Amino acid sequence: MAEDVCRYDVLKNEKYGRYLVANKDLECGELIFTDTAIAVGPKPDTPPLCLGCYCPVENTLCSRCGWPVCGAECEQSPHHLLECDVFTQAKERFQSVEDWSASCPQLDCITPLRLFLAKEKDPERWAREVDAMETHTEERQKRATWRADQNNVVDYLIDRCKLGERCTRELLTRICGILEVNAVEIPSRGGFSVRAIYPRLAIAAHSCVPNIVHTILQSDYQVQIRAAVSIKSGEPLHLSYTHVLSPTIVRREHLLESKFFSCECPRCADPTELDTHMSTLKCSKCDNGVILASNPLDNEAPWNCTDKKCGFKTSSAAMRKMLAVVQAELDQLDALPLGPEAIEMREATLRKYKSVFHPCHSMLLSLKHALAQLYGRVEGYTLDELPDLVLERKIEFCRLVLKTLDVISPGESRMRGMMIYELHAPLMYLARSEFSAGLISQEKLKERLQEPLQCLSDAARILGREDPQSPEGITGTIAHQSMEQLKASIESL
């Protein structure tokens, strides 16, 4: 695409391998490039799903090959047709399962098969965009997933699906590596997360403080890459491969496990995480110090109290164990149905760990991020039911998340757009509540409503870039409509 050529160059060095740099000044929100997936399909350990649209299925199979699809339309999906021919010719049918909600190793072969068929169909694109991708074969051989890939993918496709005349075991092993190292998890129209290989997106280097963001268009699974902030010509384009709200020790372990490198970005190298304190603990032995990693780039380094008189120390192993326990609690909270308990249990967990973690620690920040979204949306806690104190609490949580994002994910991201949208409502309700109570004048009300109006304007702009059918895209549309309504309401005062 001609417009892509003028926005970035591909360079190579020892630190990143291949990476992208801007070759012109980029404005915040500017589209840098669009990439088309060379293969999309199920992740490992996925339950049975439709191989056309990725919806959940149960006992619904393709009339030709006998593999899961949800209907006649998905039998003809371009995602499924080529593999359908392979399974049909080999007379290899999907083996029925007892539990259609449990993980299904039979589907592990689908995405590797699709990547091989993409190579066969367009060898020039493979040579140009995929062949140079890293596979980290030696490191992968030491992992349990290696044996699973050999059994469920390589042996299965060569022996049972009779691909031996078209493909080698070495190539399929390499394809498994390309997927493990380079695939990104994306939402699907059917509700399941799937994985995709985007050749140009895969070249972007990682940073725990990214300067680019990506959006998946679910109609065709294209990805759009935009500048999250203003980027100068010559600056590398950095994407985050991890969840930005995770603490350093968790991010670095995830990157080592999934991407085979140890991150040494400025955020990881700083014990305070650039003064956000997302990894900081309170010291239980003294009142003056906090507990920080003595060397966050050393996974085995001890954690020390900053008060020299205190001298408290703990091991990184103890820290990892504690974080895993708390994360398991947060995962249980995330599994709760949307109702009053979802709020009350999170507030109880906040109180439980208030004396353990710094107020901005990622574990507490994750709870506050969830509560900022839940207040106003749950039975018994709708916006018009919330007392002013709880409206102020929602505002406090929104502002804390946004202040942290200013540092760790600056610029215009989905998370920022959603959090700004959440902020507008309590600001608006609180201002109107104070006006109704006679605490502020009409002129002061007009003044106070300018901030929620700006929130809606920013949310509409940021989220308007998302897929229109995604939750973020739908929120962007609502933000734009609400902005027009609030504007008219202010003018009528």
CB 318 within 8 A of CB 290: no
Q: CA–CA separation, 250 vs 331, rounded Å?
A: 15
Whether the pLDDT of residue 297 is over 60: the answer is yes
- Answer for the pair 220, 3: CB distance below 8 angstroms, yes or no: no
Residues 115 and 175 sit within 8 Å (Cβ to Cβ) = yes
> Does residue 194 form part of some domain?
no
Confidence class of residue 193 from pLDDT cuts 50, 70 and 90? confident
- Rounded Cα gap, residues 405 and 213, in angstroms: 13
Inform me whether the pLDDT recorded for 3 exceeds 70: no
* pLDDT tier, 220 (very low <50, low <70, confident <90, very high otherwise): confident
Q: Quick count: other Cβ atoms within 10 Å of Cβ 415? A: 18
pLDDT score of 29 more than 70: yes
pLDDT tens digits, residue range 69-90? 998 899 998 889 999 999 999 9
The H or E element that residue 193 is part of is strand 193-197
Would you say 416 and 228 are in contact if contact means Cβ atoms under 8 Å apart? Answer: no
Residues linked to residue 214 through DSSP beta bridges, in sequence order: 225
Q: How confident is the model at residue 4 (pLDDT cuts 50, 70, 90)?
A: very low
Q: Does residue 101 sit within a domain?
A: yes
Q: What is the mean pLDDT of residues 187-215?
A: 91
Extract the tokens encoding 338. Answer: 């949307």
Q: What's 235's DSSP letter?
A: P
> Residue 244 has what pLDDT?
93
pTM for the model stands at 0.90
The amino acid at residue 109 is C
Whether 421 is in a domain gets the answer yes
**Any domain includes 71:** yes
**Do both 74 and 178 map to the same domain?**
yes
Average pLDDT over residues 312-330: 95
Together in a domain, 89 and 156: yes
49 and 32 fall within a common domain: no
Taking the C-alpha atoms of residue 316 and residue 325, their distance in angstroms, rounded to an integer, is 14
176 and 235 share one domain: no
pLDDT of amino acid 5: 56
Q: Are residues 272 and 209 in the same domain?
A: no
Do 139 and 268 have their domain in common?
no
pLDDT of residue 145: 87
Q: What is the pLDDT of residues 32-67, one digit of tens each?
A: 999 999 999 999 988 999 999 999 888 899 999 999
Let me know whether 112 and 139 are in one domain. Answer: yes
Share of the chain above pLDDT 90, in %: 83
- At 219, is the pLDDT very low, low, confident or very high (cuts 50, 70, 90)? confident
Distances (CA, A) of 60 to 48, 100, 105, 107: 10, 11, 18, 15
Is residue 364 domain-resident?
A: no
Is residue 159 located within the same domain as residue 228? Answer: no
Residues 227, 292: one domain? Answer: no
Q: What is the mean pLDDT of the chain?
A: 93
- Residue 370 in domain: no
How confident is residue 192, by pLDDT bands cut at 50, 70 and 90? confident
Q: Which tens digit of pLDDT belongs to each residue from 106-119?
A: 999 999 999 999 99
**366 is a domain residue:** no
Q: Is residue 20 domain-shared with residue 46, that is, in the same domain?
A: no
We report the CATH number of the domain holding residue 215 as 2.170.270.10
Cβ atoms of 265 and 408 within 8 Å: the answer is no
pLDDT for residue 2: 40
Domain count along the chain: 4
pLDDT over threshold 70, residue 286: yes
190 lies in a domain? no
The pairs formed by 194-197 with CB atoms below 8 angstroms and a separation of 24 or more are 194/40, 194/41, 194/42, 194/43, 194/46, 194/54, 194/111, 195/40, 195/41, 195/42, 195/43, 195/111, 196/37, 196/39, 196/40, 196/41, 196/221, 196/223, 197/37, 197/38, 197/39, 197/115, 197/130
Per the structure, the complete domain to which residue 141 belongs is given by 39-184
Are 144 and 218 found together in one domain?
A: no
Q: What is the mean pLDDT of residues 248-271?
A: 94
Is residue 420 located within the same domain as residue 451?
A: yes
pLDDT digits (tens, 9 = 90+) for 367-418: 999 999 999 999 999 999 999 999 999 999 999 999 999 999 999 999 999 9
